[in-house]
Structure 1
Amino acid sequence: MTTVTMIEKPTEETGFADGPALRAALRGADYIADPDLATVVHLATVLGRPLLLEGPAGVGKTELAKALAEVAGRRLIRLQCHEGLDDSRALYEWDYARQLLHVQMLRDRIGTDLAAFDTLEEASAHLAAKDFGLYSETFLAARPLLAAILSEEPVVLLVDEVDRTEESMEALLLEVLAENQVTVPEIGTFTARTRPWVVLTSNDTRELSAALKRRCLHYHLGYPAAGRERDIVAARAPEVEPAAIAEVVALAGELRDLPLRKSPSISEVIDAARIAAVLAGTGTTAAERPELLYAALLKYSTDVELVRTRKGGAPSGPAEATGRPDRTTVAADPANTTTAVFRGHGGRGRGGN
């Protein structure tokens, strides 16, 4: 096996002196990160280690990778993970249509060559020894992982929602994460031209393998504290009065303390705040009609039923409210005080996953 891409050891600078400098840069890209998060991200870029962000959906994990690419001037390459994802969609596949066209173009020439042989065995041996160029970079369709390795410019590789794939898919990531390279059996090993900054996100729907975690720096993003969340909503929805924002954020905090199937994300809280602003225009407050905010905050009928039961003073256990055993979810975990937040202007800024 040959190494087809001979590359100098990456020497590119991160462009950020330290964590505070990176934090300031992210703020300029409408992403407000906690000091600890900014420091961990900076360390990942300096050490060349992948960064694994775990936590509930909607707290800004995906948006961090986007903002990092923006402030660093790097192209973002995104691999959206899902059940059934395989190497042909993550690494590479062969362009069979182009290969077939290539064979058709060579057909007459091949026929002339084979006419010189008296036996089928001789003709077959000749074909086996002949290199028709079918398995070369010309016919290689690079998918996100290989595209990041082949890129001549620095990139940020986002492996989004890695927990949605099967564990077997994690094994395909290890060579990229550990060696910054991808091996194509028919050709050889491609080594990164410039070391990609790798960000993996997980919504904690399953436990990731120890081998994957061992290769990454890790940071858990949780829901922001109430004061910080009020600041987020105020920045993203400036048309909403502070009192209404406080009511919506307080309601979201109460809901997150319940064993819901899905707790409200930050982006959903922003939507609820905008609903509150519309209601205020009709003389109705969120405190008077909190159930009207459930359209934004609650996305499952069982969650709506549970909340209405609790608010109505019925027995507190979810088994009584929903007829199902009590359950807990990652989204119901207490908020992480070291979380990241993001802001926008007039509702046009960043959301998050």
Structure 2
Amino acid sequence: MRTPGELAEALDRVGYLADEGLATAAFLASKLGRPLFCEGEPGTGKTALASALARALNVDLVRLQCHEGIDATQALYDWDFPRQLLHLRATDGPGREEDIYTRRFLLARPLLRALESAPCVLLIDEIDRADDEFEAFLLEVVSEHAVTIPELGEIRAAEPPLVVLTSNRTREVHDALKRRCLYHWLDHPDLERELAILRRRVPGVSERLAAQVVGAVRRLRAAELLKPPGVAEAIDWAAALLALGRTELDARTAAVTLGAVLKYREDADRVTAAGLEAVVAG
């Protein structure tokens, strides 16, 4: 891809509608070899961006899902202890350390797979769920595109992967990691772009139903909810209505399908008490 516009067109062909700012950020991350740090509300397309980039660039997607307590063993590599033990028993001896700490007994986790399978897109998803120690560990991978395994030495990517980090901002990620990245905030799309996304992701949805769903979702976002719906929820809602054979959204239909768009009981109760007629009106 020679320009951000060409990358936007390639993303469009695989079903991801990126605006100019996002396409430029992804293009620069690819050209400069810098990680792209995507932050924003849940459901705004951060994770989907990494998947679309992999398809648009025709490379593999390697995903590391972060969670509380994740450590280097889960993210980088581990040793296959059962196979090592079987090897020692088969050789009928204590064995030498260099015999069992070889590549044949190494279990590659996502980070190591990304370094060895590059070019690829490495998605480090929801980094805000990990702890400070794991962030510090990531610095070597993000900045050097290399890791050190004591028994084997340094493993360096022949070609740096395109790294996409996502955060829902449940906590602030440290500056040391952010400084090594290009940053982009993903907000909810404007009305026309959200309609285009919905029509693209839910084939068969009518113009009227798409407009009703997008309008209702945007009104729900304006309410004081614990988790306002994102684009992903709008897509789910439209797909649910289409599966039920509905051609328009009314208060009764909204009531029985509300679980597709609101994922907290408190939000559903609040919206229902206020009246679903106001949500679907317009």
Question: Cα deviations across residues 200-230 of structure 1 (Å, max 9, x unaligned)?
Answer: 1111111111111111111111111122212
Matched residue, 1:66: 51
Q: Which of 106, 124, 139 is residue 159 of structure 1 equivalent to? A: 124
Aligned CA distance change for structure 1 residues 149 and 311 (closer, same or farther; 3 Å) = same
**In 2, Cα distance between the equivalents of 1:312 and 1:268?**
17
Measured in 2, the distance between the counterparts of 1:176 and 1:27 equals: 30
Which of 122, 126, 149 is equivalent to 1:184? Answer: 149
Equivalent in the alignment of 2:280: none
CA distance in 1, matches of 2:34, 2:46: 17
1:26 has 2:39 as partner: no
Bigger RCO (CA 8 Å, 6+ sep)? 1
* RMSD after superposition: 2.3
Amino acid at match of 1:150: E
Alignment match, 2:79: 94
1:40 aligns with 2:14: no
* Aligned mate of 2:275, from 311, 328, 332: 311
Does 1:206 find its partner at 2:171? yes
For residues 65 and 289 of structure 1, do their structure 2 counterparts lie closer, same or farther at Cα, with a shift above 3 Å needed? Answer: closer
Give the conservation status (yes or no) of the 8 Å contact 1:53–1:202. Answer: yes
- The corresponding residue for 2:106 is 140
Equivalent residue for 2:266, pick from 302, 306, 323? 302
**Any idea what SS the aligned residue of 1:31 has?**
coil
Match of residue 92 from structure 2: 107
Q: 1:260 to 1:183 in 2, by over 3 A?
A: same
**Counterpart-to-counterpart distance in 1, 2:39 and 2:50:** 13
Equivalenced residue count is 276
In the superposition, the TM-score normalised over structure 1's length comes to 0.72
Query: Whose radius of gyration is greater, 1 or 2?
Result: 1
CA contact (8 A) 2:120 2:162 kept: yes
Residues 24-80 of structure 1 show CA distances to partners (whole Å, capped at 9, x for unaligned) of 111111111111111110100111000111112222111111111112121111111
Q: Is the 8 A contact 1:244 1:286 kept in 2?
A: no
Supply the distance in 1 between the matched residues of 2:190 and 2:149 (Cα, whole angstroms). 47
Mapping for residues 217-228 of structure 1, pairs under 5 Å = 217-228=182-193
* Fraction of identical pairs, as percent: 44
Q: Cα deviations across residues 264-301 of structure 1 (Å, max 9, x unaligned)?
A: 122321232345554745xx742565434422211211
More helix by share: 2
Distance verdict in 2 for CA 1:142–1:258, change over 3 Å:
same
1:187 is displaced (CA, Å) by 2.6
Confirm or deny: 8 A CA contact 2:15 2:200 kept in the other structure.
Answer: no
Distance apart, 1:238 and its partner CA: 4.2
SS at match of 2:250: coil
For the pair 1:253 / 2:238, whether they are aligned, the reply is no
Aligned-partner residue type, residue 167 of structure 1: D
1:8 corresponds to which residue? none
SS class of match (1:32): coil
- Cα shift at 1:132: 4.0
Letter in 2 for 1:145: L
Letter in 2 for 1:264: P
